[in-house]
A and B are shown apart, each in its own frame.
Chain A
């Protein structure tokens, strides 16, 4: 920990290496009465040790399903295939004992709803102590000391460790959940919309703290969000998901500044930014239409029905996620026309063809 003298526990935990995560052809289909719902349909990505991957997309794109699959938290009705390699061990096939030791110890999770992540009838400090002692052979006092350090780290007064979740405000609860997720200094932090429910000021404080910890301890992290601004500020690489697939992936700067997939272009346009003083209001451009029906197999590009540049090839033949340049991948048949598309995508008229459908 940053301040005070380090206990044996702190030293041991600080020495944990960051984790490399490789996801290969992950597929998740929820079995329902209407047949399989292909929430995640063959996605691959990699998180290099100590780096931050942004997983961005809108509701229903499958990003939260990916997070759950990485921890094997999906319900029994979900059929999962592919490989999730955590430092070469496949999470999807490991036995219960190995899984128990990987969870929290190697991968920690911060969820969106801090309300549901805490037990309402147990003091918050005791909940953190419990999670530490489940994985580390330390006494209660040492674990409580670590809990107090973690509270200080997320900006909560340690004397409030003895309180119950209902005595905390929403922002404080979210910070307590983050403290708990950091308690074992897991090599990979999965942050699923960690600040979505919070106000801008609280969001900024929490993201700064998470980023500081991630950088100083060189942790790997996946930040799942729909907020392009958070990705821009926090992630080294970004994967953009649409309807169960990664449609574009690469270094954040490149993907956001020179997107090669029309969906990413549209997402960037639709995302409001603070305008310069005296700048004329640019039109906010929405992407009309909705997600395709994931109960049925989709022959072509998933974005084709909403894409202003789609051709007949797009509706019949699925574009593979292929390397464009550097480490920038995109799943579009018309990679070579990306620059032309980017220019056209800035004009509202381009996107207006099926306005009524939104």
Chain B
């Protein structure tokens, strides 16, 4: 081997040795689905437990704070696509946008009502994460309640090195599949605009309360 080649190889090896720690740090910084789920949820739980918000007047503030977190964690657009499945293509792009917005509002409302109304110091245990396929993972959790434990699984996918939720499975029932069945039947008889109108009414009733 010529001296130049040996020099090149040595340089290469030295660079690798220097870069190696940086590379491994980089890899360990890569997000994990479980962590990306755990941190927002634990923040939400601490908001729910925070005595600052005990006063009913503070509910809206608490709600707004929680919504900021959930909108980052849950990919509502992806959920909308999946809930409509093959019907998504038959929506115009304006309708797609409108649907995604109002469906996001509806899901957030349902979620918020449930946790703000019923949270009584339940503990959430984060069990494990399973890689389903490239870029998709299933994180299993358990809610411990008075009389029983409720298994809740989150289907997550990775985008821009951030894991987001695209489906929630409670005791074996997939939220998105459940909505898909309903939307399928509704769209068999009604137009996209009518479905959007229905969702809007549901959201308005909630806000009106």
The judgment on whether A and B are partners is: no
Residues of B within 8 A of A (CB): none
